[in-house]
A = this chain, B = another copy of it.
Amino acid sequence: MSMELVNVNVGLLGCGTVGASLCKLIDEQSEAIAERTGLTLGVALVAVRDVSQSRDVPIDPSLFTDDPNSVIESPDVDVVVEVMGGINPSKELILKALELGKPVVTANKELLATHGDELYSLAKQSEVDLLFEAAVAAAIPIIRPLRESLVGEPITRVMGIVNGTTNFILTKMAEDSMPYADALDEAQRLGYAESDPTADVEGHDAAAKAAIIASLAFGGQVTLGDVHVEGITKITPEDIDFAHRLNHCIKLLAITEKQKIDGEDALCVRVHPSMVPLTHPLATVRESFNAIFVEGDAMGELMFYGRGAGGAPTASAVLGDLIDASCNLKRSNSASIGEFKPMKISPISDLESQYFLEVEVDDQPGVLAQVATVFGEHHVSIRSMEQEGLDSEARLIFITHKAFESDFQAAIKALNELEAVRSVGTVLRVIGID
């Protein structure tokens, strides 16, 4: 029983780290792919900014062009792979490819988090594949499970470590007791962080992934602007030390969950440093690894773990999508994509969470009672408290029961106004207990 081989010609937009890895992977795996799927994949054209630059890829130099439109329009190109990044001209190029009925595979999280809805709609309407497994957590298959395997599952929450740079920094701070700046230096030295690390350390990269995950998990139209974002730059080795003493670690999590607000479904989508119990599977995710934890009523807890960045892992995810799009093309079919409907996004003030809080106070009688009174007045109930003396002052460390963010923030404001309170330290939301 031998299969008829079908040629699929790939038009590649961009040939940086991911594009070059993809060319190599296609070259090395072509025989195995043909055997498994009946497809012979070949790169037909590659759009790059500078054609004259020499590249270490197994591609005939005559196939390079600096005109991406010519790649999309070429009758020799069956499927388009976009790995250029950025919004422009990627958006127009992808829209054009879809209009021409050519399936598109992209790794462009920024674009999808900003204009996903327009792109998904056109793909659906044109019945053409738009696949983007590589846009979230690279090699980790999370998009396809959310689109397909879990489409009937009542998902309640998705939480992920979706940025390798910040996870590496937090791991170094925790395991080697490094201050933030030193851990960032090391991440830059090892190539895990860029020279301008803002997008990673301020949480924007994670926020783009959070928007995409929220759309797929809950079928809502969610964009980058809907995501509440806090980065890791204010985390101190002391915070990590406190967390550890309370059997927790600190992770930058992208979290999306469904809430009822005034009886209406609403989505909360946020990225912030979180206290995670050491027994939670996400606590075991070290260094630059990523993991996404999905909770559902029927299936219970699920976690997907792997390499969330890098040329080869990203190319591996692109190749999976490319094969899928090619198989669908062969069968005149396209992957189903759900409807994304407008959904209420709940503001962070409506969040209900547990909190960790460190407060430095004068070491004198009655201070704890004052602090406790403030919490009580703001409907914040204390779950646990530790006190330690520091010369003339004392440090109070609290973990609260679930409280509303708005109440908690009001309590902090009131604490800051107490005369005996010298400073209120880092506030961290606590996940996984209760």
Q: Which residues of A contact B (CB under 8 A)?
A: 1, 3, 21, 25, 28-29, 32-33, 35-37, 121, 133, 138-141, 144-145, 148-154, 219, 279, 281, 284, 286, 296-307, 310, 312-313, 315-317, 319-320, 322-324, 327, 331, 333, 336, 338-339, 341
- With both beta carbons as reference points, the residue of chain B lying nearest to A125 in the complex is identified as B1
CB pair B298–A312 under 8 Å, yes or no, is yes
Tell me the number of copies of this protein: 2
19 contacts between A and B (CB under 8 A): A25-B298, A28-B154, A35-B339, A35-B341, A36-B151, A37-B151, A138-B299, A139-B296, A140-B302, A149-B317, A151-B320, A152-B320, A284-B284, A296-B316, A298-B312, A301-B305, A303-B305, A305-B305, A333-B333
CA distance A320 to B154 in the complex (A): 11
Chain B residue nearest to A24 (CB atoms) is B298
B323 lies within 8 A of A298 (CB):
no
- A1 contact set on B, CB distance < 8 A: 121, 339
Closest CB of chain B to A218's CB: distance in Å?
Answer: 10
Once the chains bind, are B339 and A312 in contact (CB under 8 Å)? no
Instruction: Choose from B153, B305, B313, B317 the contact partner of A320 (Cβ within 8 Å).
Output: B153
Closest B residue to A26 using CB positions: B152
Residues of B within 8 A of A152 (CB): 25, 29, 32-33, 316, 319-320, 322-323
A319 to chain B: which residues have CB within 8 Å? 152-153, 298
Report the bound CA distance from A25 to B155 in whole Å.
13
CB distance from A320 to the nearest CB of B (A): 4
> In this complex, which of A298, A313, A339 has the most chain B Cβ atoms within 10 angstroms of its Cβ?
A298
Chain B residues within 8 Å of A121, by CB: 1
Distance (whole angstroms) from the CB of A28 to the closest CB of chain B: 7
**Cβ of B331 and Cβ of A333 under 8 Å apart?**
yes
Question: Once bound together, how far apart are the Cα atoms of A35 and B341, in whole Å?
Answer: 10
**Neighbouring B residues of A298 by C-beta, 8 Å:** 21, 25, 139, 312-313, 315-316, 319
Give the contacting residue for A302; candidates B3, B297, B306; CB below 8 A: B306
Bound CA span A219–B25, Å: 19
Q: How far is the CA of A368 from the CA of B250 in the complex (A)?
A: 47
- Rounded to whole angstroms, the CA-CA distance of A315 and B300 in the bound complex is 11
Are B339 and A313 within 8 A (Cβ)? no
Cα(A36)–Cα(B341), bound, Å: 10
- B residues in contact with A304, CB < 8 Å: 302-305
- Chain B residues near A316 (CB, 8 Å)? 150, 152-153, 296, 298-299
With a cutoff of 8 Å between Cβ atoms, the chain B residues found around residue A35 in the complex are 219, 339, 341
